[in-house]
Homo-oligomer: A and B are copies of this chain.
Amino acid sequence: MSETQDFEALTRYAKAFTGLTPEREACLLEVSEQLQPLLATVTDKFYEQLGHIPETAPFLEGRVDTLKKSHLAWIQSLFTGPFDISCTELMYKVGDIHVKVHLPVEFMAGAMSMINNELILLVIEQFADDQEKMALVLTSINSITSFSLFVMQQSYQESTVAEELDKFLRISGMSRVLFTNLANAYSD
């Protein structure tokens, strides 16, 4: 757990793992104009589906309109880029916010699944007459949504452990320095 995250390294790492290649980034930019007008529907359907899951209700109450706005802005950005360190920093911050509002970790993977399913249907319809293009667009979208999830989850994990540690230190009255020294002595 690093206090100062190296976002350049994280960007490289996340791109390698999720297959976000320059070719796929170029593809996302290229289809942006065609897909942008259709993305609001993806956001609408996403919140409609969330509304049917009892576990998500408490996080939505009275906030759906605000949430929809930032959600749509994020989906739009998947096709406009830039796919650089700023994108990583943003998703890292989003992961951190999710910890602060005590969103269960599995919500993020679940949400991405819903969004991908909506985008799959949309892309197959839009690129029906060009199968090669369809394959490139679908894999590009899978890579960029996975990139977002990857970065969010790394941030989520680090923030969670940090929050747990704070709680334990508060309870035990132990200083962070003493804890670190003890942890090093006890590490397996």
Copies in the complex: 2
B-binding residues in A (CB < 8 A): 13-14, 16-19, 49, 52-53, 55, 104-107, 109-114, 116-117, 120-121, 124, 128, 131, 134-135, 138-139, 142-143, 146-147, 149-151, 153-154, 157, 160-161, 164-165, 167-168, 170-172, 174, 179, 182-183, 186
Contact B106 A150 (CB under 8 A): yes
Contact A182 B186 (CB under 8 A): no
Query: Majority SS of interface residues in chain A?
Result: helix
* One of B55, B120, B146, B164 near A135 (C-beta < 8 A): B120
Enumerate chain B residues within 8 angstroms of A167, measured Cβ to Cβ.
183, 186
Closest to A116 in B: B142
A114-B19, A154-B105, A186-B170 are contacts. A134–B124 as well, Cβ < 8 Å? yes
Contact A19 B186 (CB under 8 A): no
A19-B114, A106-B154 are contacts. A120–B146 as well, Cβ < 8 Å? no
A114-B19, A135-B121, A135-B124 are contacts. A109–B146 as well, Cβ < 8 Å? yes
